[in-house]
Chain A
Amino acid sequence: MPTWLLWTLGLGVPLAAASVPIIIHLINLTRYRRVEWAAMEFLLNAYKRTRRRMQMENLIMLLLRVCAVILLAAALFPMGCQKMRDAIGGDFSGGAILNNDAPMHLLMILDDSASMAYESQDETSLSRAKVYALSVVDALDQARDRVSVIRLSDVHVPPRAGGGVVTAQDEAQSRRSRLDKASFLSVSDARRLISNTELSAVDTNILAAMREAARLADATPQSDALGLLVISDYHLAGWGEVRKDGPVNAEFVQSVQRIQPRLEKSGTQALFFDSGLEKPENFAITNIRVEERVIGNGMEATLLVDVARFGDAGEGQRRPVRLRYRINGGQERPVGTTVQLAPGESATSIQVKVPARELALKEDEAATGASRNIEIYTDDADPLRSDNARNLVLHVVPNVPILVVNGVAHPDPDLDETFYLETALGISSNRGEGDRGDGEVVNITPNRITTLEPKQLDTKMTFLEYRLVILANVKSLPAGVVENLEAFVRAGYSLLVFDGDQVDAQSYNAQLYKDGKGLLPARLGAPGGLDDRGAEHYSLAVQDRTHPVISLFADSEENLSIITDPKVIRNWRTLKLPEGVEVDPLRPTNVLLNLNLPGGPQPLVLERSFDRGKVVYVGTTAGERWNMLWRSNGLPLFLYLEMAAYLTSNEARYSNLRVGEPYRRVLRGNEVAPVFTIRDPSKVSAELQPTELTGPSTGASVPVNMIEFGGTTQPGVYTLSAMERDDKGALRLKWSERFAVNMDTRESDVTKLALAEGGTEAALREALPDVPFAFARASTRGEDGQADFIDPKDDQLWMWLALAAAVFFTLEIIWSGVISKPEQ
C-alpha cells in the first residue's frame, strides 16, 4: 500500500470525518431561510440576552459533533488509529509498511503451513491471513508495484526418500524453482496467487522463508522501495526456533538485518501480522508407529500411538482423550486406554494391538500381499482437525525373502557359517515344532530364507526377488554379480556383509569398496586377533545410540548390557574408514558398534546408505569362526533379527510418509504394468510413468523400474494402481497398493510464541532487538461476520474510542434534542 494512501487513510479519514460537521455547519450557514419579521424588537432583545450563551452552545455542539465523528472514524478505522498514534508519538511503531514514493516491491511471507488450518468461528487462520494479505495487495499501485509471495509450502523441501541426504544446494534449487514462480509478480497475479493459496500441510520453516526474503530483497532494484510483511500464526513450532533462545535466532536476525537497510532506505518497516488466535488449544495424534518393522501374513501388529495436548488454554485442567481405530474404513474399534492430558502434556506409546486375524491376507492376496490402512482418531474433533486422525498403512507381506550366501557351508552346525543366522532369522511362529499350544497361532517373523553357496551366484541374477542379501564370509564375487548387487541396493534394498577368514580383502576393496564409491562402508585391512579359540575375547561398545536397531538396546542400562557385557569377539577385521577423497558426503559411513580393544576402539559394525538402499558391514563372522556370539546371552538373535527387519523394512517406510515426502517404489518383474495411477485422498487420480534406472549412472546390467510420486501434499491415504490391458485392449486393475501421508507433527503444537510476561509481540521484539517493526493481529470474526484487523493494543483502544464516540453522540443528541429543543 503506498504511503500516501496509508496517510490518506490513516490521518486523512479521521480528519476528513472531522471536517464533515464543520463543512455541514458552514454549508448550513449559507443555506439559511430568509423571513420578514415583524416582532423584531423581541427577537433583538432575546438575541442580546442570549448571544453569548448561544455562541457557546453552537461551539460546544460543533465540537461534540467533530469529536464524535473523529472518534467513530478512528474506532472504525484502526489503521487510521495506528497512524494517529504514530503521529502523536505513541509507542506503536507500525508506521508505513509501504511506500508510495517509488515503485514498491512487497515481500510477503505467507504462512500456509498445516497449523494455519486452525479453525475458529468458521474461519481458519489461513483464511484470515488471505483476507489481510489481499487487503494489503489491493492497496498497491496496480501498474507499478510488484509482490513476491513467499509461501511456506514453497519454502518447504521434502526429505529424500530413504532418508538420503539433501544438500544445501539441493534445498536452494528446490526452493527457488518454486519461489521464482511467485516472485516479482504484478499486483493482479499476486492477488490471484494469494486467493488460490490453500493449506499445504507442510511445517513452518520461518528461517528459510526469511532467507528467501533476504535473497529477493537483494534482487530488488536499488531504485525501488521495499516492504516486508510476515503473515503467520506465530506458533511455537517453527517460530520457537527463531526466538531469542532458539537455535537459529542468530541466523534469523542476520536475515532480517540483511533486509533492514533496504526497508530503512524505503522509509518502511517490517510488519508482522498474526492471523491466529491468542490462546489456541489442540489435541493431536502426533505419531503412530508399528513396533514390527515388517508385518508378514499371520503376524499381529503392535501400534504405538502418541497423543498430545498443545496450547496454553484450559488453565491446567486435565481433559480425557479417547481413541478409536478402524482398518480399511471398516468397523471402528475403541482403544481401551483413555488418557487424561493437561495443557502441554503428552502421552507416548499408547499400545494398540491389532490382532493377526484382522490383518490376515485373503486368498486372492496371498501371493502378492496387501495394504491395510489403519486409521486412528480421537473421539472429539477440535479446531485443528487435520491431526485428530492419523493413518498408518501396513503392507502385510506373504513373506520377506532373504538370500543368504553361505561362504563356508558345513554339515556341522557349529562349523557352518550361517546355520545359526538362518535359524535366528527364520523363526516363524510362537509355536515350536510339535507345540500344539492354546489360542491363535501368531507368526513372529515374516522371513523366508533362501541359502546359496557363492558358486551358485550367477551374473544373470538380479536379486530383485529378495529384500535382503547376506554375504557371509564369502571369498569374492564375480564382477557381474557385484554390478547387480549395486543395482539391487540402489533400488532400495539392502546388503548385509559378514567378514571372515575366507574373505579376500583385496578383492572386496577393489570390487565392493572402490575407494569409497562402492558398496562397502570401509576399506578392509588385515584380520585382527589370534586365530585360537582359547585366545582373549573382547566386548562390544555402542557407538551410535540413535540408530534404529542399536537404540532398542540402548534405551536402558540393562538392555545395553546385552551388547556390552559379553566378551565374545576373538577375531575381527581391521578397517580403514573413508578419509579425504574417499569420503562421499552423499553416502557417509556410520559406525554402529565398536570393539573394545586395549589399544582403542575398533569399528566393528558399520552402515552406509547406497542410493536408496543400505549396506551393513559386520567385521566378524556370522558363524562362530571368529567369535562366540551365539553362546552369549542371545545377543545375535536379537541383533541380527532386528538388523534384518531394519534392512528389509523399506516398504513400510515408504508406505508411511510425511507431507511432501516423495513416494518411491521399486517394481519387481511381475509388477511392471503399462499404466500406473495414483489416487490422492481427495479422490483425484493422476497417471504416473515408471522411471527406468539403467545405463552407466546406475551401473546396473538389468534395468530397475521405479514408481516415483512427489505430490504428497495432503495428509491421507493414497492408492497406487497398476493397470494392464486385457485381450481387447481395455484397462483392468493388475494390482494396487496404498500408502499413508501424515502431516508434520510439529504443526500440531499450537502453543503461541510468547514470553511469560507479554505476548507474541514481546517475544518477537526480544528475538529482533535492534529491528524496528510493527506488529498487528487479526481479531476473531465479529457478529457482523467481518474480520477485523487490529493492533493488540488497539483491541481495547477501539472499544474505548467507540464508547467515547457513543457518549459524544448521546451528549450531542441530548444537547440538541432536549436542551436546545423548541418547547412545545
Chain B
Amino acid sequence: MAETYQQYLDPQVLNHIRHLEVTARNVVEGFLAGLHKSPYKGFSVEFAQHREYVQGDDLRFLDWKAYAKSDKYYIKEYEEETNFRAVIVLDTSESMRYSSGENKSKLDYGRYMAASLAYLIQKQSDAAGLALFDEKLYDYIQPATSHVTLLRMLATMHERPAQKKTNIGEVLVDVAQRSGRRAMIMIISDLFDNISHLKKGLEHLAARKDDVIVFNLMDPQEREFKFDRLTQFIGLEDYPELLVDPRSLRKAYLEEVDRFNNEVRRACLRARSDFVAIDTGMPLEVSLQAYLAKRMGRRG
C-alpha cells in the first residue's frame, strides 16, 4: 500500500519544486508564510513564553510591557514561530473523476498536488493536515509535522474513491470547526457545486480569518470543450445524459464556464481568498511554480 500511495510524491514534481526551493527558497518560504518575511504577520502564530533578550534578537518581538513592569528585556516566544498549520481540503466527489485524453483525472491531479504541498510544508517543519470530502467531510487528518502524518495523508487520499455529489459549503464549515484555531486552508476542487454553497463556506472561513487558497482544477476539455462529433455526455454526480452535437453547443457552454469562473472569483475576492485556476493539462510543477511566482511577486 505504502508503495502505491507514495506515488503521489512524484519525484519529478518534487524535484521541480525542490529545485524551485533551492533556487528561490524565499519564494517557497514566502508561500509557506515564512515567519520573518511574511506580509501576513500573525498567521498561525501564538504566544508561548518569555525569555530574556540576547544580542541579536529581533527587537520587534521585545515585550515592552514586561520591560515596563520588570525593567528587563524579555523576548516573546511564539509556539509556532517557525511553522504553521495548513489543512489541505481535497474534493473527492464523482466529478473529480473526469479526465480527457492522456491527462490525469482531476482527482489524481489533486492528489498529486495535495501530496506535493503537504510534503513541502512538512519539509519546512510546518504542520500539514488533510480533509477529504464529497457530500460531506469524510476524512480529516489534523495538521502535524511528522512524516507519519504525511504517509497517512497519502494513504487516505489513495483509498478514497471518487463518488457522490459535492456539497462544498457545509464541508468548509466542518473543516473550520475541526481545524480549531486559524490555519491555512488549501481547497483543491473543481468547485462543481452550487455557487451559493461555496460562498457560504468561504465566508465562514473568512470570518475565522483563515487564510484560504482555492485551487480550482479544471480539465482542459472542460475549459475548452473541443469536441468535434456527436457525443453522448453521461453526467457524473447524478446528472442526466445528453446526446448533442458539441460544436453547436460550444459557445454557450464556454459562456457558462466563464460565468461560473467569474462568480467563483468574485466569491473568493469577497472572502479575501486566493483563487488559483489550475489546468490539469499543465504539468503540476508548472502550475505550482506559476502560482508560487505570482505569490512571491505579491509579497514584494
Would A37 and B228 count as touching, CB distance under 8 A? no
Bound: A54/B253 CA distance, A:
13
A42-B253, A44-B242, A822-B228 known; A37-B248 Cβ under 8 A: no
Would B235 and A33 count as touching, CB distance under 8 A? no
Q: Which of A24-32, A247-255, A262-270, A489-497 contacts B (4 or more CB under 8 A)?
A: A24-32
Question: Would you give the shortest CB distance from A39 to chain B, in whole angstroms?
Answer: 5
* Set of chain B residues within 8 Å of A38, measured between Cβ atoms: 94-98, 106, 190, 192, 219, 222, 236-237
Which residues of chain A from 461 to 484 have a CB within 8 Å of any chain B CB?
Answer: none
Judge whether B22 is part of the interface by a CB distance below 8 angstroms.
Answer: no
Judge whether B256 is part of the interface by a CB distance below 8 angstroms.
Answer: yes
Judge whether B147 is part of the interface by a CB distance below 8 angstroms.
Answer: no
Which residues of chain B from 203 to 249 have a CB within 8 Å of any chain A CB?
Answer: 218-219, 222, 225-237, 239-240, 242-249
* Set of chain A residues within 8 Å of B219, measured between Cβ atoms: 38
Judge whether B71 is part of the interface by a CB distance below 8 angstroms.
Answer: no
Would A35 and B239 count as touching, CB distance under 8 A? no
Name the interface size band of chain B.
35 or more
Known: A38-B237, A822-B225. 20 other contacts (CB 8 A): A32-B231, A34-B231, A37-B98, A37-B235, A38-B95, A39-B95, A39-B192, A39-B257, A40-B233, A40-B236, A40-B239, A43-B249, A43-B256, A44-B240, A47-B249, A54-B244, A57-B248, A821-B247, A822-B227, A822-B246
Judge whether B251 is part of the interface by a CB distance below 8 angstroms.
Answer: yes
* Set of chain A residues within 8 Å of B233, measured between Cβ atoms: 35-37, 40, 43
Which residues of chain A from 25 to 70 have a CB within 8 Å of any chain B CB?
Answer: 28-29, 31-47, 49-50, 53-54, 57-58
Would B229 and A32 count as touching, CB distance under 8 A? yes
**In the A-B complex, the 10 residue pairs with the closest CB atoms:** A46-B252, A40-B239, A38-B98, A38-B95, A40-B235, A42-B256, A37-B233, A32-B230, A46-B253, A50-B252
Chosen A-B contacts, 6 in total, with CB atoms closer than 8 Å, are A39-B98, A39-B190, A39-B192, A40-B240, A43-B244, A47-B244
A/B pair count, beta carbons within 8 Å: 115
A39-B257, A43-B253, A50-B249 known; A33-B192 Cβ under 8 A: no
Bound: A33/B95 CA distance, A:
19
Judge whether A820 is part of the interface by a CB distance below 8 angstroms.
Answer: yes
Would A33 and B222 count as touching, CB distance under 8 A? no
Would B230 and A33 count as touching, CB distance under 8 A? yes
B binding-site residues for A, Cβ under 8 Å: 94-98, 106, 190, 192, 218-219, 222, 225-237, 239-240, 242-257, 260
Judge whether A823 is part of the interface by a CB distance below 8 angstroms.
Answer: yes
Would B192 and A41 count as touching, CB distance under 8 A? yes
Bound: A44/B257 CA distance, A:
12
* Set of chain A residues within 8 Å of B190, measured between Cβ atoms: 38-39
* Set of chain B residues within 8 Å of A35, measured between Cβ atoms: 227, 231-234
* Set of chain A residues within 8 Å of B192, measured between Cβ atoms: 38-39, 41
Would A36 and B255 count as touching, CB distance under 8 A? no
With beta carbons under 8 angstroms apart, the residue of A33, A43, A50, A53 that contacts B229 is A33
Question: Would you give the shortest CB distance from A813 to chain B, in whole angstroms?
Answer: 14
* Set of chain B residues within 8 Å of A54, measured between Cβ atoms: 244-245, 248-249
Would A46 and B236 count as touching, CB distance under 8 A? no
| Residue of B192, B222, B256 with most chain A CB atoms under a 10 A cut-off | B256
Bound: A822/B225 CA distance, A:
9
Would B236 and A820 count as touching, CB distance under 8 A? no
Bound: A43/B231 CA distance, A:
12
* Set of chain B residues within 8 Å of A820, measured between Cβ atoms: 247-248
Question: Would you give the shortest CB distance from A29 to chain B, in whole angstroms?
Answer: 7
Bound: A31/B229 CA distance, A:
9
Question: Would you give the shortest CB distance from A40 to chain B, in whole angstroms?
Answer: 4
* Set of chain A residues within 8 Å of B230, measured between Cβ atoms: 28-29, 31-33
With beta carbons under 8 angstroms apart, the residue of A29, A41, A53 that contacts B239 is A41
* Set of chain B residues within 8 Å of A823, measured between Cβ atoms: 250-251, 254
Q: Is the interface of A mostly helix, strand, loop or mixed?
A: helix
* Set of chain A residues within 8 Å of B222, measured between Cβ atoms: 38-39
* Set of chain A residues within 8 Å of B255, measured between Cβ atoms: 46
* Set of chain A residues within 8 Å of B240, measured between Cβ atoms: 40, 44
* Set of chain A residues within 8 Å of B253, measured between Cβ atoms: 39, 42-43, 46
In this complex, what residue of A is CB-closest to B257? A42
With beta carbons under 8 angstroms apart, the residue of A32, A36, A45, A57 that contacts B243 is A32
* Set of chain B residues within 8 Å of A45, measured between Cβ atoms: 252, 256
With beta carbons under 8 angstroms apart, the residue of A34, A46, A57 that contacts B234 is A34
Bound: A583/B243 CA distance, A:
99
Question: Would you give the shortest CB distance from A764 to chain B, in whole angstroms?
Answer: 55
Bound: A33/B232 CA distance, A:
6
A binding-site residues for B, Cβ under 8 Å: 28-29, 31-47, 49-50, 53-54, 57-58, 820-823
| Residue of A31, A39, A820 with most chain B CB atoms under a 10 A cut-off | A39
Would A42 and B248 count as touching, CB distance under 8 A? no
Bound: A821/B228 CA distance, A:
9
* Set of chain A residues within 8 Å of B248, measured between Cβ atoms: 50, 53-54, 57-58, 820
Bound: A111/B244 CA distance, A:
62
Would B232 and A32 count as touching, CB distance under 8 A? yes
Bound: A58/B244 CA distance, A:
11
Bound: A788/B127 CA distance, A:
87
Would B245 and A58 count as touching, CB distance under 8 A? yes
* Set of chain A residues within 8 Å of B228, measured between Cβ atoms: 822
Would B232 and A34 count as touching, CB distance under 8 A? yes
Question: Would you give the shortest CB distance from B180 to chain A, in whole angstroms?
Answer: 33
Would B229 and A822 count as touching, CB distance under 8 A? no
Would B98 and A36 count as touching, CB distance under 8 A? yes
In this complex, what residue of A is CB-closest to B219? A38
Question: Would you give the shortest CB distance from A33 to chain B, in whole angstroms?
Answer: 5
Bound: A41/B230 CA distance, A:
19
Bound: A821/B256 CA distance, A:
18
Bound: A31/B246 CA distance, A:
14
* Set of chain A residues within 8 Å of B243, measured between Cβ atoms: 29, 32
Would B256 and A46 count as touching, CB distance under 8 A? yes
In this complex, what residue of A is CB-closest to B255? A46
* Set of chain A residues within 8 Å of B256, measured between Cβ atoms: 41-43, 45-46
| Residue of A37, A38, A54 with most chain B CB atoms under a 10 A cut-off | A38
Bound: A50/B244 CA distance, A:
11
Bound: A820/B239 CA distance, A:
26
* Set of chain A residues within 8 Å of B236, measured between Cβ atoms: 36-38, 40
In this complex, what residue of B is CB-closest to A36? B234
* Set of chain A residues within 8 Å of B218, measured between Cβ atoms: 39
In this complex, what residue of A is CB-closest to B238? A40
Would A43 and B242 count as touching, CB distance under 8 A? yes
Bound: A47/B255 CA distance, A:
12
* Set of chain A residues within 8 Å of B251, measured between Cβ atoms: 50, 823
* Set of chain A residues within 8 Å of B244, measured between Cβ atoms: 43, 47, 54
* Set of chain A residues within 8 Å of B235, measured between Cβ atoms: 37, 40, 44
* Set of chain B residues within 8 Å of A49, measured between Cβ atoms: 252
Bound: A42/B250 CA distance, A:
10
Would B229 and A46 count as touching, CB distance under 8 A? no
Bound: A37/B233 CA distance, A:
6
Bound: A58/B245 CA distance, A:
9
* Set of chain B residues within 8 Å of A821, measured between Cβ atoms: 247
In this complex, what residue of A is CB-closest to B190? A38
| Residue of A42, A45, A823 with most chain B CB atoms under a 10 A cut-off | A42
In this complex, what residue of A is CB-closest to B233? A37
Question: Would you give the shortest CB distance from A819 to chain B, in whole angstroms?
Answer: 9
Question: Would you give the shortest CB distance from B236 to chain A, in whole angstroms?
Answer: 5
In this complex, what residue of A is CB-closest to B248? A54
* Set of chain B residues within 8 Å of A34, measured between Cβ atoms: 231-232, 234
Bound: A36/B252 CA distance, A:
19
Bound: A57/B106 CA distance, A:
34
Question: Would you give the shortest CB distance from A81 to chain B, in whole angstroms?
Answer: 34
Bound: A766/B140 CA distance, A:
102
Question: Would you give the shortest CB distance from B99 to chain A, in whole angstroms?
Answer: 9
Bound: A50/B98 CA distance, A:
25
Bound: A28/B229 CA distance, A:
9
Question: Would you give the shortest CB distance from B108 to chain A, in whole angstroms?
Answer: 14
Bound: A28/B222 CA distance, A:
24
Bound: A73/B122 CA distance, A:
74
